Each structure stands twice: as C-alpha cells, then as structure tokens.
Structure 1
Amino acid sequence: MGENDLVEPSSPASPVPSDHLGGLATVLDLVRGGAARTRPELSRLSGFGRTVITQRVGELTGCGLLEEDRLGPSSGGRAPRELRFRAEAGVVLAAELGATSIATAATDLTGRVLASREEPGDVALGPEVVLDRVEELFGELLDELDGGAPVWGIGVGLPGPVEFATGRPSAPPIMPGWDRYPVRDRLAARYRAPVWVDNEVNAMALGELRAGAARGQQDIIYIKIGTGIGAGLVSGGRLHRGSQGCAGDIGHAAVADDPVVVCRCGNTGCLEAFAGGAALARDGATAAKEGRSEFLASRLAERGTLTAADLSIAAQSGDRTSVELLTQAGRLVGSLLATLVSFYNPALVIVGGGVSGAGDLLLATLRETVYRRSLPLATRELRIARSTLGDEAGLVGAAFMVIDELFAPERLAHWIDTGSPAGRPALAELPR
C-alpha cells in the first residue's frame, strides 16, 4: 500500500478563524467533559457573555455536536434547558496488540466501550496476518453495532516503539516484520478515517488518566509489568511521548552486567530480561528442572509450561523459590522506578500489566524499594497503586488517544463545519 492511497490533502490553513474557534472549542469541551450543562453555567465557567454563548451553542447544535436536553433545576427564574454532547454521533475503533493477544473495542465519543473482542494472538506473525485479523474483529464490532454511526477515528496500541508522528513502528524488538510498516496508512485507507498509533504503554497511561485511577491527576507514571516492561509518563495532565515517541521505554534500561542473559532486543542486562513476565517464567522453569521447587516442578509437569501467575500461586502457597524470584523482580523494578520518582517527582505511580495482577508480593516489594531509595521529598505525598482499569486500560486509552486528537482545536477547525471527521483520514497528518 502506497502513500498515494491517502488522496485527501490536508488543508494548509484552518478554515475557522482562531478567535472564533477558541470559543467553539471552549464551549464544546465544557459540555463534553461534563463541567457545564446549561448556558448560565457555560457563561460562568468560560467568561463569555450571554450573546456569545448563544451563538456558539447554536453553531454546535447546528452541526450536530450538541443537542437540547431536559430542563435543568431552576435558581428562581425560568428553568434553563440543559445541553448534551452527542456521544453517539460517531464510533471510535480501538485495538491493543500485546505480544500474545489481540484486543479490540468500539467506543462512543466519550470513550465508553460499546462492544469488544479479545483473543490470543501472536504479534510475531507479522503485520499482514495480525492486521488482517484486527480488521476482521473491527468488522464484527461494527456488525454488532448494526452500522449506525460512522467511524470517526481509529486508535492502535503496539507492543514496541512507535514514531507517533507517522504511526509507524520503529525497530520493535519483539515484532519481526513490523519495522516501519505503515499501520496508519493501511487502516486509514481501509476505513477512510484518521488513525493514530502509539506504544501500548502510552495508551494504558492515557486510559488511566482519562477514565481510571489517575483521573484529575497532573503528574503520573504508569508502569506496565507484563511479558515486557514499560512506562508511560504524564506531565501537566498531558501524555509525554518525547521528541520521537519513545519516552518511557524502561524495559531496556540496563540493570545488570550479566552477559549470559540476553534480552529479546539483543542487548544484555535489560530490566525486562530479569524482571518481566517471560523472565519470571524462564527462571521458574529452571528452578523446577533443577529440583529447587516441588510446586513449580509439579505445575510444569502438569501443563508443560509456566507463567508468572504460576509463580504467584506458588509463592502464596509458601514456595520459597517463587517468593525469592518475585521479590528479586520487585526490587529490580523498584530500584529503577525509584530513580524515576526522584527525577520526575510524580504524585501517583500506577502499576499495571499481567504480572502486576498476579499477586501482592511483587507490588509490596516494589513499593518498599521505591519508598526506601527515592528522595524523601519525592515520596512524601507519593501514592503507588494498582491499575483500576486492568486489561481494559490500553483499549480505553487507544480510544481516548483518538478523541483527544480529534477535539484538539488545531484539528477541530478542519471538520467542525460539517460536524464529522469521518472520511477525512488526512486529519491525522496535521501537526498539533
């Protein structure tokens, strides 16, 4: 697929004057976010006069983004008519690809999941096979929704570094055949909608920020401990991707000098090679074969393989070897996280991913290490909590990635006149 498939040119200049756009975006955001539901509330929170509010509301209802709702409570005079954001006007498709799973969802324009699908998958099969299946699952979701609202945008989270500006993976260690693959171009041509692609951990962080444990927070670190390890950074209430999009890739930070343990990226000493889910499973299997854990040996003989969850179950049953392995992993992750906490000074650290949900021992060790090794000022009001969205964090975040981008004033200006960004894939190419 070539870049000529995207035939819609991006407009060189905004079709809506910036001063006018500011008022529209402000009013829309206040209603969309639930801060204001009536015209008097909009006037009070925005600082705009009654005439300006009436004009902007009229334009937004005229293009189908807002609509009149029920009467609100009266403050002494005539009861004001409430306004409602038409979240059902469009559908957002979201996909989160893990190393061994595919999850997809269709959401409304507030990020509420309307339908979802999840199944095992192997990202190493390559982009053609995997994205073929993603498109099949998208088709099932749209069929379930009975083809009502148009697709406004698509968000995809991938388990590797992504150049956010182009939507292309960049030398992903566990994704053979994906390097520089035009994920955005393919899906944009297929659905005629704007597409954004990001690292799955960034999507998870955004999901928690918009709809999970980090709602209302400004400075957070989301750390995923799964097959691999990564971090998502939120600064000032916005996701921090860095200049190329790879900020937070802590899984390949060096934590040891051991030349024997080789990471999937080809280097030695990487954090995920010692503390990720695959590393825990590997070390548990070694312990089982060497006779250091009867529990793990029995589990391995029964199932033929081990996972990090097996180590957690073994640890809860009093297996000393599993306790040691989980404790060691918690200390390694905690030590690196302690450096980040002192350097970045977040108010909240959220721990997610498959390994984080396997039990309390690893999380407790991680907490103890961070509080012991970080600067006292950095941990004085720091909270370290488990993800509240769990497995849905990446999907919800991928949907909000699209929603945030579509309603950014720089892009809103290019589609608000028609009331829909559907059919405009080149919107994703516009700079913010």
Structure 2
Amino acid sequence: MTEKLVIGLDIGGGSTKLGLVSPGGTIVARRRLTYAKAATGDKILSDYASAIDDLMRGQKVERLAGIGIGYPGHILPDHISGDDSNVLALDGMPIAEILKRRFQCPVGLMNDADAGAIAEYRFGAGRGVDRLLMVTVGTGIGLAFLADGVPTNTANGCLGDAGHVIVVRDNPVRCRKGCLGCLESVASGQAIERHARRLRSDHKATSATAALVRDALGGNASALGIIAEAGNWIGMAAASWCNIFAPTTLLIGGGISAAGAVLVDAILLETKRRGMPSNVENVRFGIAELGNDAGIIGAAAQMF
C-alpha cells in the first residue's frame, strides 16, 4: 500500500483501540486490545507492538508515516511519557521513545481528550468550529477546548483536571482520584456503571452502561432518570466551563453519548439554567459524530 498511513493508538482504562488511519481520517484497519489489571507496562507495550505489526502485515504496509498516541492522563514535559492515567502500569514509561525506536518513525503523544476533540474538529461534528468544547464521558470525564483547531493546555499537557470540577456539596463518594463532590464522582462512566448495575443486576459491569442506554432509548423510566441525572450534573459543570471558555459549540462524546437527545437535552437545560446568559444562550449542543473512533482518528491526526 503506497498511501501514507499512521497508527492511531487510543489508550483506555480497560482496553486500547488501534487503527491504521489515512490522511483523510479513514480507519483502514483496526484492533482492540484488553489487558489484565496486573499487566506490566512492558507487557502492554509488547502487545501494542505486536498489534501494530499485525495491522501493517494485513494491509501490506512496509513503513509507517507515524504513530500518534492518545494518553488517558497527564502528559509529562518530555512529551514521550505521561502519568496520573487510567493505566497505572504505563505511567512514567517513555512510550513514545520505545515505539519510535521499534518502528523507526515519528511518534506523537497527547492527552486523549484533546485527541478526540481534534478528530471532531477535522472530520466530525466540530468541523471548522472556532471555539469547540468537547466533553468525553468514559472511565473518567475528559474535557478539551480548541480555539481554531488548536488545543488549549493549561497544565500537565492538557486542560488541567477539568473533569474534577466540584459540583456537589454533600456526597460521601470520592472519585477514583480522591476528589470529594467532583463531577467524576457523580457522572463519570464509573458512576453511571454503579447506577446501571443496580438497575440491571443481570448484566455484567462491562455491559451495564450499554444496557442502560438501550433501556433508556426503549423508554424505560428508571434508565431515563439515570441518564437525565448524569446530564444534569454535566450541565452544571458545563455552565462553569462555558463561563470560562465561551465556546460556540459543545459536543458530548463517550459511550453514554449513544443516549442522544435524552442526555444532550438534560445537559443543555441545566447549562442554560445556571450559566451566564451571554455565555450559554448561543452555544450549539450536540453529540460527537465519530463515536468510539474519535480517539483513534484524533491520535493519528496529530501526525498529519
């Protein structure tokens, strides 16, 4: 294959998605890897390398144009490693340098929320938006703000830890990072999973959110209530984010975004109820178009 292709590597808390991506944002081939919690960083990187080799062989790619990595945490100043992530075994490892030596090509490392937003800006629902705010609800809650396509990084190679904005005063549940009363503690994928498992005890944890979304779309009142409540919490935080960043478009991504209008309407109503009118009344709210592919495409796009 003569077309220049880049590997997009979207690292997640329980799995990593990889894809060979064209300059036009098309995923030519893909793989998904899962790993045990006890897996070492060396083992995980070895699996990444094997999957990349497999993708290259399958598409007859002799040489990669690059590898782009979306990292689920902070990006360290060396720009080859990260920390405070969802995959503790990778924290501090020189991931970019290791893969650069292994495949003899340029390697870029960026925060995964930034990667998803870049994908939507170039190829999805955020095409050409001058001030794009994107919220990704996964294991945690990622936030990215792009001004004319350029990510704003306030600290740690990302938009700080905006998913941990405090939204509730009296909540005994701490988030996975130790915050009390933050958005992640009440509306992250993990928080939604807790509610979903209580509602659908017949589903395994890995499918509880998907089942919840299906139930909500089917009109189940309890499922609709859980998703609307998550939307209310996100909307409360979004009101503050809009007051700070004044976006023209706010997109919601991540698995729960499959709930569509049920989620977006709750976010929109709460944002407009609480936010400064001049900062929220003209914001366009929507669902990210690229779904679970955004992380792969955006990670790759940093190399084009």
Assess same fold via TM > 0.5.
Answer: yes
Q: Where do 5+ consecutive residues of structure 2 fail to align?
A: none
| 2:65 aligned counterpart, secondary structure | strand
Equivalent residue for 1:158, pick from 71, 84, 98: 71
Letter in 1 for 2:61: G
Q: Does 1:140 align with 2:54?
A: yes
Rounded to whole Å, the distance in 2 between the matches of 1:124 and 1:271 is 28
Q: Which residue number in structure 2 is paired with residue 323 of structure 1?
A: 224
Aligned partner of 2:145 in structure 1 is 233
1:92 deviates by 1.2
Would you say how many aligned residue pairs link Structure 1 and Structure 2? 303
Q: Contact conserved, 1:278 with 1:308, CA < 8 A, in 2?
A: no
1:326 is displaced (CA, Å) by 2.0
Q: Which residue of 2 aligns with 1:27?
A: none
Does the 8 Å CA contact 2:217/2:259 hold for their aligned counterparts? Answer: no
Deviation at 1:392, TM superposition (A): 1.0
Q: 1:251 aligned to 159, 163, 173, which one?
A: 163
Aligned AA (2:178): G
Structure 2 equivalent of residue 193 of structure 1: 105
Q: Return the offset for 1:176.
A: 2.0
Q: Which has the larger radius of gyration?
A: 1
Q: What is the SS of the residue equivalent to 2:16? A: strand
TM-score (norm 2): 0.90
Give a deviation string over 1:205-249, Cα, whole Å, max 9, x none. Answer: 010111111111221001101221111110133122235313153
For 1:246, the aligned partner's letter is C
Counterpart residue number, 1:177: 89
Deviation larger for 305-314 or 364-373: 305-314
CA–CA distance in 1 between the matches of 2:31 and 2:8?
Answer: 10
Match in the other structure for 1:104: 18
Distance 1:383 1:248, change over 3 A: farther
Q: Hey, what does 1:79 align to over in structure 2?
A: none
Q: Tell me, yes or no, if structure 1 residue 343 matches structure 2 residue 244.
A: yes
Q: CA RMSD in A?
A: 2.3
| Counterparts of 1:244 and 1:230, CA distance in 2 | 13
Q: Structure 1: which amino acid aligns with 2:288?
A: S
User: In the alignment, is the contact (CA less than 8 A) between 1:163 and 1:246 conserved in 2?
Assistant: no
**CA–CA distance in 1 between the matches of 2:270 and 2:113?**
22
Indicate the SS of the match to 1:381.
coil
Distance 1:402 1:176, change over 3 A: same
- Structure 2 residue aligned with 1:386, among 284, 287, 293? 287
One-letter code of the match for 1:374? Answer: G
Q: 1:122 Cα shift?
A: 5.0
Which one scores higher on RCO, CA 8 angstroms, separation ≥ 6? Answer: 2
Is this contact kept in 1: 2:192–2:226, CA < 8 A? Answer: yes
Give distance in 2, aligned partners of 1:367 and 1:284.
Answer: 23
CA distance in 2, matches of 1:254, 1:391: 27
Using the TM superposition, give the Cα deviation of residue 165 of structure 1 relative to its aligned residue in structure 2, in angstroms: 4.4
What is the letter of the counterpart of residue 313 of structure 1?
Answer: R
Counterpart code for 2:9: A
- Alpha carbons of structure 1 residues 313 and 90: separation in structure 2 relative to 1, 3 Å: closer
